[in-house]
Amino acid sequence: MDGGDNCVSPTLDLTMHVKSTGTPSRRQALLLSAAGAASLMSPGVWAQPSAAVYPERAVKIVVPFAPGAGTDAMARLVAQKLGEVMNASFVVDNKAGASGAIGTQYVAQAPADGYTLLLVASPFTTVAASLPSANYDPLRQFTPVGMIASGPLVWAASTKLPANNMKELVSLARKQPGVLNYGSAGAGGVNHLVLELLKARTGTFITHIPYRGVAPATMDMIGGQIQLITGTIPALLPFIKNGSIKPLAVTSAKRSRALPDVPSMAEAGLAGIDVVNYFALMAPAGTPAAIVSALNEAINKVVSMPDVVARFKADAVEAAPGSPALLGHFIEADYRAWRNVVKTQNLKID
């Protein structure tokens, strides 16, 4: 999450307020008259919501996945806490389907008034980069609001695999091209593309087998049908702890506090590979800067709350406060990096 931390300037609040008692002064009357004339001449300006009164009604946070998923759980936590901070109602609306594309398209087409937001995770960029059918542009159709949290995946292997670290895995893959089988949560997702990134960097060929989620892939690896997977740390940690699978490395440039004994990609001899799953809020393109700024300020307060920090620790992610501009830099870099992987590996995903 490198990049400048430039602040978004709030728009000017043109609303004039007069005390409810007494008669307005001549100056106040003139100002109100001028404001009324301006509203008639420039209706577009007056149609912009004012951050001074936002939100006036319930704000919908769309989750493009089914209830119960990690993204859904994060959205419900964020909705509750944003409601507390902004003294308003934030509700979660699940619109699942097409690897997250249905809900994402819905928000892209929603009014840019701050009342429809999108809770995104890594599929927001990986699916757009790899699936032509996604039919949305993460850079042009959305306004970054704020990053929430991020954390790495973990490379895990069958206990029968004769490789105990990434160097040994790469060596084995080079000796036996196509023999090793890797299970992902589905074609075009981050679990799939992190394998393609490894293959591109190391010149190896490992067979990709898509599943409907990490859980069935994990069971097949324990059963011996496949040898490798990546997954979020919370999803795989119970199996790591009971010895059913063995960790090889986390996908980030630094170690995870949830797996302090597992090396990072740099320590594993693969410097430059830094893959994280992230959670962030996006809004439709054109959402007023003042509203984006108000939401961003609230998000940064939420992620610093002690109970939220404790929840993040349990989920093996870390708070990632920052400006909308910082999130924008991250989203663009992530999307373009995955587009490059798709092109380099000549992936054709329907």
Tell me the per-residue pLDDT of 322-334, one tens digit each, with 9 for 90 and over: 999 999 999 999 9
The token duo for 242 is: 């009971």
- How many CB atoms are located within 10 Å of the residue 148 CB? 27
Q: Is 134's pLDDT higher than 90?
A: yes
- The pLDDT score that the predictor gives to residue 349 is 87
The token duo for 101 is: 């594309």
pLDDT in tens, 32-64: 333 443 333 344 443 455 567 899 999 999 999
Residue 40, phi then psi, degrees to nearest 5: -75, -35
Handedness of CA 183, 190, 129, 91 (dihedral sign): positive
Q: Is 175's pLDDT higher than 90?
A: yes
Would you call the peptide bond into 10 cis, given omega within 30 degrees of 0 as the criterion?
no
Domains, in order of start, for the chain: 59-150+277-344 (3.40.190.150), 152-250 (3.40.190.10)
pLDDT in tens, 284-343: 999 999 999 999 999 999 999 999 999 999 999 999 999 999 999 999 999 999 999 999
Q: Is 288 exposed, middle or buried (0-12, 13-18, 19+ CB in 10 A)?
A: buried
- Mean pLDDT rounded to a whole number for the chain: 87
Strand boundaries in the chain, DSSP class E: 59-63, 90-94, 116-120, 142-158, 181-184, 207-210, 228-232, 245-250, 276-284, 318-319
- The pLDDT score that the predictor gives to residue 51 is 62
Taking a C-beta distance cutoff of 8 angstroms, is the pair 235, 221 a contact?
no
Confidence of residue 350 (pLDDT cuts 50, 70, 90): confident
- The pLDDT score that the predictor gives to residue 50 is 57
Taking a C-beta distance cutoff of 8 angstroms, is the pair 252, 267 a contact?
no
The token duo for 187 is: 């074609």
- Global pTM exceeds 0.85: no
Residues 268 and 263: their CA atoms lie apart, in Å, by 6
Confidence of residue 276 (pLDDT cuts 50, 70, 90): very high
Taking a C-beta distance cutoff of 8 angstroms, is the pair 324, 296 a contact?
yes
- The pLDDT score that the predictor gives to residue 68 is 86
